[in-house]
Amino acid sequence: MSGIHVLMTADAVGGVWQYALELARELSAADVRTTLAVLGPAPGGDQAADARAVPNLTLRPLDLPLDWTADRQEDVETAAAAVADLATGLGVDLVHLNSVALAAGGGFTMPVVAVCHSCLATWWDAVRGTESLPEDFVWRVRMGARGMAAADALLAPTAAFAQATARAYGLAQAPIVVRNGRTAPATREEPGGAPAGDFVFTAGRLWDEGKNVAAIDRAAARISLPVIAAGPTVGPNGARIALEDVVSLGRLGEEEIAAWLGRRPIFVSMARYEPFGLAVLEAAQAGCPLILSDMPTFVELWGGAAEFVDLNDDEALAAAIHRVAHDGAHRRRLADAARERAAQYTPGTMAEGALGVYRTLLSPANQGPPRRQEARV
């Protein structure tokens, strides 16, 4: 498997960016060269610097729309064709798409791995329930279904999300589970142990309804501790949120977020929709106690290592924050359990799972017509 060249796609808007850099870094150790094609907004200065620090990684920003911000189906088809052309021009051995819709156009002459990081069909089901998909979503979901049918292998970061994806698209076989991983930040122990931060913290795409930050904002009005949030309040698709009782810091770089987490605040996520949750993992690695919504993904990853509350009950969230803040022994138990569980979700394990899929697709036994499945929506 050594010496291969992979074209990987990413965006610089959310957690896929960190996922791509972590995976590329680990792949480099296996002598895999990665070209990272970035769609959507160009990487910021700190993001570009992080990419340059990854061995065997070449950054290729593309002036192409993301599938979930594009205005027309034709725009996504154009982007998909451009990625396929780039893969052919570079002569890569394998394509790793972090947006399944980019596989929809076909045109790839090499194996295609598509990762189901998130999708509008599963997002809509979790956030809006039984409401009918708006017309603007319908063509996007169909593009996702076409991409799933065209890919040689589908991956998902959790079993809960793999099953949700299979249900939403009528897949005969759920995506292969390859859990995400994150490098734990370096820790510095203060003499006698640094005191825990006397505040509540959350991070992510605050504008995304699936993050359910509005529930945290309502809970913040019920407690005396300050509640601080890192992340953009306006999305590239025009979505936005106005926070009243949560202090918004806006988008922060990785080092800035690590500094906040290093103070070991109580970390909260009330997400309705979260295929994995890198922000939760980063908080756990830093030794923060976790209070999470009781959604299937979080229960799968953090069961026994976090306190769970009903994602619709901000009063229960406020009570849980109060309980953790005022019971030092309970807080320490939660923090220790979270850090221990986080040690299972490493970039090395993530890369090992991805490499296993790569090896299968690139083996001589699989050089015939690819095995693909139909997606029905």
192 pLDDT tier (thresholds 50, 70, 90): very low
Is the overall model pTM greater than 0.85, yes or no? yes
Residue-wise pLDDT for 203-253, tens only, equals 999 999 999 999 999 999 999 999 999 999 998 778 899 999 999 999 998
- % of the chain beyond a pLDDT of 70: 94
Per-residue model confidence (pLDDT) at position 186: 67
376 pLDDT tier (thresholds 50, 70, 90): low
Residue-wise pLDDT for 269-299, tens only, equals 999 999 999 999 999 999 999 999 999 999 9
Report the greatest alpha carbon distance in the chain: 63
**Would you say residue 164 has pLDDT above 90?**
yes
Q: Which residue has the higher pLDDT, 251 or 158?
A: 158
Residue-wise pLDDT for 337-353, tens only, equals 999 999 999 999 999 99
Per-residue model confidence (pLDDT) at position 189: 46
Per-residue model confidence (pLDDT) at position 188: 47
**Would you say residue 34 has pLDDT above 80?**
yes
* Structural domain spans, the chain: 5-182+346-366, 200-342
Mean pLDDT of the chain: 91
Cβ neighbours of 170 (radius 10 Å):
12
Q: Do domains 5-182+346-366 and 200-342 have the same CATH topology?
A: yes
Fold category of 5-182+346-366 in CATH: Rossmann fold (3.40.50)
Fold category of 200-342 in CATH: Rossmann fold (3.40.50)
69 pLDDT tier (thresholds 50, 70, 90): confident
- % of the chain beyond a pLDDT of 90: 78
Q: Which residue has the higher pLDDT, 281 or 377?
A: 281
